[in-house]
Amino acid sequence: MNRESDHYKKRGVDYEVPPFMPTLPRKYYQSESIYQEELEKIFYRRWIMACREEEIAEPRQYLTIPVGDESVIVTRGDDGRIYGHFNVCRHRGTRICDKERGRFESDSIKCPYHAWRYDLSGALQVAPLMKEGAGFQKSDFHLFPVHIGLWGGFVFINLSEEPVLFEEELAPLIGKFEAWGLQNLRIAHELNYTLNCNWKIILQNYQECYHCPGVHPLLSKWTPFRGAVHDCIKGAVIGGHMELRDQVGGMTMDGGPAGPPLCNVTGDDLKRVHYYSVFPNLLLSPHPDFVLYHRIRSEGINRIRNDCFFLLHPDSIRDAERMDRFQSAVKFWDMTNREDWKVCEQMQLGLKSRRFKHGRYSEQEDILYALDREVLTALGHEDGY
């Protein structure tokens, strides 16, 4: 057992690394049947990060969130609550909203086909020419609900009828990063990418720095790649932190801070960059001076949409001088992202080879073995190797 695994044991984490750590077989990146199983057993059952609350800050604003073949309407009601509904009319199954975002003109959601109308909580209000009686009651035709979970200003959705409790699934994050005041931060910048690779490759890439010396020369200059400390290595939340080198103030092009520390960030956290993946689609990275996160949307077995966001305090966003300096962090992470995306796409291409069955993780990648186990457990493929 390697030193990092001993470290996990000291922290009381129930996790053991086997002497041989096989990677997932190639079929988990190439098989369409396995991908469909992932949709059913992971994306349609687990908690998925949908958006930030600020993206639907005003009543009647909405977003449509694609999840495999499903579409979900996330909206804010006039009562201030956030609601989630399957984007499908209860009359004959028409998709109701065809735009990515918008604002409902009235306090109702109207189907464009036969004008059935629902209030923002999903209750059927109007069904033209349909008479209530023994065969039809409006109360029986509520929009199919989607469960909502809120944490740190993030909105999560769950499409399952009986989901695992949100607080249970995200337990390692509840109460964590309070010093950052996540719920008070706002989106300062957004980068959008489309990649030709499987969704799992991105999560794996994010959670290891074995590749950093060869792929990320500047990142490795600011944070030593052997310095990762993981405190979550089992379940939906996996990750830990890396230390900034002495004399390095932040993850920017020149190694200086991107701005002042966020909210109440102090002490050791002023020299740490945190990296947590929230299975299956959120990559969260609180820095001392900003928060970076990626929202992963799988669009097929070998294609994803990756939206990368930077969060700052509103006071910084309103300060032109601070925002000018902050661009150094944006430039740094855009460069680093693109370095990652290139090798991730090359991995997807290489995994087409029929000669490749599975590989072996290094001791620097034992956290990826844990991530793979989460996939296999969710699929019921514990013997998947």
pLDDT tens-digit series, residues 274-285: 999 999 999 999
Which CATH code, of 3.30.530.20, 3.90.380.10, 1.10.10.10, 3.40.50.300, is assigned to 3-45+176-379?
3.90.380.10
User: Which letter does DSSP use for residue 225 in this model?
Assistant: G
Sketch the domain layout of the chain as residue ranges: 3-45+176-379, 48-163
Give the pLDDT confidence score for residue 364 in this predicted structure: 85
Q: What is the pLDDT of residue 342?
A: 97
pLDDT at res. 384? 67
Amino acid identity, residue 124? Answer: L
Among 2.102.10.10, 1.10.10.10, 3.40.50.2300, 3.40.605.10, name the CATH number for the domain at 48-163: 2.102.10.10
What's the pLDDT score for residue 72? 98
Domains 3-45+176-379 and 48-163 share a fold: no
Cβ atoms of 372 and 365 closer than 8 Å: no
β-strand partners of 276: 239, 284
53 in helix, strand or coil?
Answer: helix
pLDDT of residue 11: 37
Q: Which residues of the chain have pLDDT under 50?
A: 1-14
Compute the distance between CA of residue 145 and CA of residue 132 in angstroms, rounded to an integer: 22
Alpha-carbon distances, residue 343 vs 18, 190, 199, 213, 275 (angstroms): 27, 22, 14, 13, 19
| 237 within 8 A of 175, measured Cβ to Cβ | no
Residue type, position 278, single letter = V
- How many angstroms separate the Cα of 61 from the Cα of each of 102, 120, 301? 6, 10, 31
Tokens standing for 251?
């993850």
Q: What is the pLDDT at residue 210?
A: 92
- Residue (of 254, 341, 320, 249) closest to 290 by Cα position: 249
